[in-house]
Amino acid sequence: MIKAGVVGALGKMGKQVVKSVLEADDMELVCAIDVLGEGTDAGFAAAGKECGVLIQTDIKNTISTSKPDVIIDFTQPNGIFEHVKTYMELNVKSVIGTTGLNEENINDLRNLSEKTKTGCLIAPNFSTGAVLLMMFAKQAAKYFNNAEIIELHHNQKKDAPSGTAVKTAQLMAEVNSNFTAGNCAETELIKGSRGGTGSANIHIHSVRMPGYIASQEVIFGADGQIFKIKHDTMDRSCYMAGVLLAVRHVYNNNDFIYGLDNIL
């Protein structure tokens, strides 16, 4: 049995993760942590059925007493770098869904993972469709010199652009460093009109709107043709197969991984 703990257990993603862990035959929920709702039964909050694991607020104490094999973190961008450092310093393996880590943070955490010999998997997106979108975008990037990314999310999302958009641009940049080649000189009459620029000068546009969960489109263009790849999340359950796969991988291995594509 894999002893799992969930941090951010009362959030939109955290509740789905608690439910999935409780339903998994090979996992046991040993702790649930959130800054809110101390003492709430995590199973009741997630699925309307008590499981006996109560929400605690202190990460270090809770991990030390409940001794999870794997911590799953879906909290918020501001504190996530410190959270992952804490897990590694406590020698607890972790699966990180929280977004907001930049390239420098990822490199620092990779080094700390090696130093502390503590496995960790960080994925900006756990849905298979979105991971395939990233893989296909990388393939297509070899054949087009013009591409832009549009990501659309619910209006409670705290970071922009999305971690998926950043990672997509990074993957595309691995095979082509020449995007927007041939564009004429531009003047932005309204600041930000052309979006932000990610790796290899790829423009990224972020839309925030009630009604959306998470969508992303990559548009490639060349003379006489437009090629689009799109993924829509209709329900947060789409992330759960990827999260559980990551938990099993991290439990059985001790490496540092950035991106679910590496274990699919």
Ligand X SMILES: NC(=O)c1ccc[n+]([C@@H]2O[C@H](COP(=O)([O-])OP(=O)(O)OC[C@H]3O[C@@H](n4cnc5c(N)ncnc54)[C@H](O)[C@@H]3O)[C@@H](O)[C@H]2O)c1
Closest to ligand X by CB, 77 vs 221, is: 77
Closest to ligand X by CB, 171 vs 179, is: 171
| Residues 33-72, mask of contacts with ligand X (x by CB under 6 A) | xxxx------------------------------------
Cα distance between residue 195 and residue 88, in whole Å: 35
Touching ligand X, residues 143-162 (CB under 6 A): 157
Select which of 157, 167, 231, 249 is catalytic: 157
Q: Per-residue b/e over 33-69, b at no fewer than 16 CB within 10 Å?
A: bbeebeebbbbebbbeeebebbbbeebeebbeebebb
**Interface with ligand X, residue 125, by CB under 6 A:** yes
Closest to ligand X by CB, 123 vs 173, is: 123
Select which of 15, 19, 83, 153 is catalytic: 153
Give the shortest CB-13-to-ligand X separation in angstroms.
Answer: 3
138 is catalytic: no
Stretch that binds ligand X, among 85-93, 121-129, 133-141, 191-199 (CB under 6 A): 121-129
The residues of the shown chain that bind ligand X, judged by CB under 6 A, are: 7-8, 10-14, 33-36, 74-77, 79, 97-100, 123-126, 157, 239
